[in-house]
Amino acid sequence: MYDPRVAEMARVLVDYSTRIKKGDRVLISAAGFEAAPLVKELYALCLKRGADYVEYSFSDPEIDRQFYNLASKRQLEVFPQHKLDFYKTLTAYIGISAGENSMVNATSNQKAMGAYQKLTRPLVDQRVKHTKWVVTRFPTHGGAQEARMSLEEYESYLFGACNVDWAVESRKMEKLKKLMDKTASVRLKGPDTDLSFSIKGLNSVKCDGRFNIPDGEVFTAPVRDSVQGHITYNCPTLYQGREFNNIRLEFRDGKIVKATAGEMTGPLNKILDTDEGARYIGEFSLGVNPGIRTPMRNILFDEKIFGSIHFTPGQAYDEADNGNRSAVHWDMVRLMRDGEIWFDDRLIQKHGRFVIRELEDLNPED
């Protein structure tokens, strides 16, 4: 059945996020066959906008799982050069996740997954650094179940968070970006959380629908060695197909010196021991999407929850580069509805709402 919200989402992705025009060469990559209705709309719209070449592909996470569990050491070391050669011809990339089971790799060979992520990092770097790219999600029964919603509720939630006037939201976020650019020190306070760090000299970036749909965050990075204190995350987080809850990190001079997560403490520390940079922070961000209020166990949504922050072990982004390098980039989310955010000894957010005049229009109406 035709859903006009799917066509509207395609227009956001093509006309706003990637700005497809005559001469573009586009790859539409879908993980999960449920995304077919959106792929169809995107394909047609890219052609109508004059793209020279449009290719689409589907992958199946269940088949990927076979690779991680069955591939030999030699097979894990074969770099897919043909993919990189093709990526170098692209000017735009649209990625869609429509998986039915985010836990599909929970029991996969984690060592193999990590090794292959390292090997194929050049593919990610190529599309991120050299194409107009955007990634998004498409509603599925599996996604709805993880979000603790019916499919109808999940569809309304997802499309409501994605199909917004991003130009208007961008103007609102600009005020937060300017404030962060002027800020030297940050402090996060809340139950079992007291964290301080510097962002002085680091660029801040507003995420206003260009690279992620849904979007709605402003991020930077801490000065690498400046992080002191501890933080307890109160939002579930998935990494390599496994769920972690109540992660608590302690920092000394920027480094995670103690990490716990109940029965998942062992797997948590194994990930943080991937390389040296995995125990340092590569991103600090404030979520400001007014349509996203509750965790969905989907980081593309959860990191944008209004009134949240994420404080990310691992790789820093080029746009806000504190020098940290890692194969890991793990967005861990904390809802600040029970806490406070201070910039340069000035309270800017309390209980998940901005309390200074220049940022009040970011607050949701309800």
Domain containing residue 151: CATH number: 3.40.1830.10
Q: Report how many domains make up the chain.
A: 2
**In the predicted structure, residue 241 carries a pLDDT above the cut 80:** no
Of residues 142 and 276, the one with the higher pLDDT is 276
Strand ranges (DSSP E) for the chain? 25-31, 53-59, 92-97, 132-137, 185-190, 193-198, 205-207, 212-213, 217-220, 228-232, 237-239, 242-244, 248-252, 255-260, 281-287, 308-313, 333-335, 340-343, 346-350, 353-354
pLDDT in tens, 168-186: 999 999 999 999 999 999 9
**Tell me, what's the pLDDT at 294?**
86
Residues 116 and 172 both lie in one domain: no
pLDDT band of residue 118 (cuts 50, 70, 90) is confident
Give the Å distances, CA to CA, from 287 to 93, 189, 214, 258.
24, 16, 11, 26
No. of H helices and E strands in the chain?
12, 20
**Tell me, what's the pLDDT at 298?**
84
Residues 136 and 174 both lie in one domain: no
Buried b (16+ CB within 10 A) or exposed e, 314-324: bbbbeebebeb
- What percent of the chain has a predicted confidence (pLDDT) above 70? 100
For residue 15, what are the domain limits?
4-162
Of residues 108 and 348, the one with the higher pLDDT is 348
**In the predicted structure, residue 104 carries a pLDDT above the cut 90:** no
**In the predicted structure, residue 162 carries a pLDDT above the cut 70:** yes
**Tell me, what's the pLDDT at 106?**
76
Of residues 100 and 290, the one with the higher pLDDT is 290
Q: What is the mean pLDDT of residues 118-130?
A: 92
Residues 64 and 146 both lie in one domain: yes
**Tell me, what's the pLDDT at 61?**
87
Give the total residue count for the chain. Answer: 366
**In the predicted structure, residue 103 carries a pLDDT above the cut 90:** no
Query: What value, to the nearest 5°, has the Cα angle with vertex 288 and ends 219 and 256?
Result: 45
Residues 126 and 184 both lie in one domain: no
Residues 129 and 254 both lie in one domain: no
**Tell me, what's the pLDDT at 110?**
85
User: Per 3-state DSSP, what percentage of the chain is helix, strand, and coil (rounded to 5)?
Assistant: 35, 30, 35
**In the predicted structure, residue 17 carries a pLDDT above the cut 90:** yes
Residues 121 and 268 both lie in one domain: no
Residues 182 and 152 both lie in one domain: no
* Dihedral over Cα of 111, 112, 113, 117: its sign: positive
- Hey, is 150 helix, strand or coil? coil
Residues 312 and 197 both lie in one domain: yes
Of 106, 140, 162, the last residue of a domain is 162
Residues 38 and 179 both lie in one domain: no
Q: What is the mean pLDDT of residues 97-123?
A: 86
Q: Which stretch of 27-36, 95-104, 134-143, 209-218 has the lowest confidence by average pLDDT?
A: 95-104
DSSP letter at 319? G
**Tell me, what's the pLDDT at 1?**
67
Q: What is the mean pLDDT of the chain?
A: 94
**In the predicted structure, residue 226 carries a pLDDT above the cut 80:** yes
Nearest in space to 266 (alpha carbons), one of 281, 244, 298: 244
Q: How far apart are CA 317 and CA 322, in angstroms?
A: 8
Q: What is the mean pLDDT of residues 126-133?
A: 94
Of 162, 190, 213, the last residue of a domain is 162
Torsion of CA 132, 165, 296, 366, to 10 degrees: 160
Residues 204 and 152 both lie in one domain: no
Of 133, 162, 191, the last residue of a domain is 162
- What percent of the chain has a predicted confidence (pLDDT) above 90? 84
Residues 17 and 154 both lie in one domain: yes
Q: Which phi and psi angles does 174 have, rounded to 5°?
A: -60, -35
Residues 299 and 195 both lie in one domain: yes
Q: How far apart are CA 120 and CA 116, in angstroms?
A: 6
**Tell me, what's the pLDDT at 297?**
83
